[in-house]
């Protein structure tokens, strides 16, 4: 799993201070942990992008006030209109202490059912897992090669050493659905129901 270094600066708290920080292109953040008092800080908005717009989980080396904290990005709040990050939470990783984290799902292989006309539908793009810091995976690989039409992979089917899944074992991760009526008609060159002549 890749580690990303993030250089941060202390910040003042309060709504007015947060507005000023955002206006200057920074994002107000908070660092917390079971044995760490909450620490407010700020990072450049651009520096957060590799952590937000990614299909991998990253460990963060947060450099703040001469100290380095090993942590993960736990949560990000976005502006409802611009979709820019306006606040971020980071959780300190404690050696020997389990943590719950969202891990992206990565689909591998080409399903038999898709070759037969089915449609692959990824239901869960992320899964919640609980594990020790050294076991945090960059992603969870799900091989769909053996799936036929109507077949699915559930959380309970995934067995990964060192990981406890927080999602229900019955939660569908990926499924191959039958071809739709519209898709079959279009494939045969006919007009789908309700389509304009």
Convert the pLDDT of each residue in 88-134 to its tens digit: 999 999 988 999 999 999 999 999 999 999 999 999 999 999 999 99
pLDDT for 13 beyond 90: no
What residues have CB less than 8 Å from 154, skipping those under 6 apart? 169, 170, 171, 172, 173
Residue 62 and residue 71 in contact, taking contact as beta carbons nearer than 8 Å: yes
Section 158-172 average pLDDT:
93
What per-residue confidence (pLDDT) applies to 192? 47
Rounded mean pLDDT of the chain?
88
pLDDT for 185 beyond 80: no
- Chain centre distance of CA 45: 18
Both structure tokens of 114: 């898709």
Burial class (CB within 10 angstroms; exposed 0-12, middle 13-18, buried 19+) of 13: exposed
Residue found by looking up tokens 């399903």 in the block: 111
pLDDT for 193 beyond 60: no
What strands lie across the sheet with 36-44, from one edge to the other?
A: 3-7, 59-64, 67-78, 85-92, 26-33, 36-44, 9-10
Section 65-91 average pLDDT:
92
The pTM score is 0.77
How do residues 122-158 score in pLDDT, each as one tens digit?
Answer: 999 999 999 999 999 999 999 999 999 999 999 999 9
Instruction: Give the 3-state DSSP-derived string for 65-131, with helices as H, strands as E and coil as C.
Output: CCEEEEEEEEEEEECCCCCCEEEEEEEECCCCCCEEEEEEEEEECCCHHHHCCCEEEECCCEEEEEE
Q: Is the CA virtual torsion 41, 43, 45, 48 positive or negative? A: negative
Under the banding of pLDDT at 50, 70 and 90, the label for residue 189 is low
Domain layout of the chain by residue ranges: 3-93, 101-185
Residue found by looking up tokens 């060192």 in the block: 162
Q: CATH classification of 101-185 is 2.170.120.20, yes or no?
A: yes
Both structure tokens of 64: 């703040």
Under the banding of pLDDT at 50, 70 and 90, the label for residue 188 is low
The fold adopted by the segment(s) 3-93 is Ribosomal Protein L25; Chain P (2.40.240)
Both structure tokens of 95: 């050696």
């Amino acid at each position: 799993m890749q580690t990303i270094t993030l250089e941060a600066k202390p910040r003042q708290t309060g709504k007015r201070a947060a507005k000023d920080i955002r206006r200057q292109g920074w994002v107000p953040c908070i660092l917390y942990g079971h044995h760490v008092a909450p620490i407010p800080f700020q990072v450049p908005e651009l520096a957060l992008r590799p952590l937000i717009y990614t299909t991998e989980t990253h460990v963060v080396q947060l450099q703040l006030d001469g100290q380095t904290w090993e942590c993960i990005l736990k949560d990000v709040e976005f502006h409802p209109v611009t979709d820019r990050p306006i606040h971020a939470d980071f959780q300190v990783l404690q050696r020997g202490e389990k943590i719950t984290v969202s891990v992206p799902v990565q689909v591998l292989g080409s399903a038999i059912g898709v070759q037969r006309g089915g449609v692959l539908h990824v239901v869960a793009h992320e899964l919640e897992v609980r594990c020790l810091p050294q076991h945090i995976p960059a992603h969870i690989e799900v091989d769909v090669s053996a799936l036929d039409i109507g077949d699915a992979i559930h959380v309970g089917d995934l067995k990964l050493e060192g990981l406890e899944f927080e999602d229900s074992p019955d939660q569908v991760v990926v499924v191959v659905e039958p071809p739709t009526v519209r898709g079959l008609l279009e494939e045969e060159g006919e007009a789908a129901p309700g389509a304009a002549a």
